Amino acid sequence: MAYRIFASVLCGLLFGVGLVISDMVNPARVLAFLDVTGGWDPSLAFVMGGALIPSSIAYAIKRRRRKPMLDGAFHVPASRTIDRPLVTGAVLFGLGWGLVGLCPGPAIASLVTGRWQVVLFAAAMLAGMFAYRIVTSRQTPPLHAH
């Protein structure tokens, strides 16, 4: 169990360092990237494009393995359906990213700065996640025909 925790912490640190190096934690840079009609900054497109390389390699490795090294099964979404919850989540993600220049990963990595704006964003994000859990836990799961 300790090796899984160590691997998780190591991956999180690597991800956070990558966010800092690429300046994805800088809301001004992100907002400039999203401002395609004004002072557009294309640098984050290269960051996102570069992220496709290790992701593609990871998926190629996954296809050749029955299970991951540190878990009993892969945890990959099985559904390919574009439904209301997916679209709603994408819209909320995009609104948060476009309004503030932060999304969950960079927001968590930015907490080390101690800036009140980032702390407020992270608190609102966590409150939204908590509210979602409460609302969805009260709903009955849909019946699926087999």
Closest CA to 47 of 78, 77, 71, 25: 25
* Confidence (pTM): 0.71
Give the pLDDT confidence of 40-54 residue by residue, as tens digits: 999 888 988 998 999
- How far is residue 5 CA from its own chain's centroid? 19
Q: Tell me the domain boundaries of the chain.
A: 2-138
Mean pLDDT of 134-141: 78
Distance between CA 133 and CA 129 in Å, rounded?
6
Give the pLDDT confidence of 87-127 residue by residue, as tens digits: 998 998 898 888 888 888 889 988 888 889 999 999 999 99
Residue 140 has a pLDDT of 62
Residues sharing a CB contact under 8 Å with residue 32, sequence separation 6 or more, in sequence order: 39, 40, 41
Distance between CA 48 and CA 51 in Å, rounded?
5
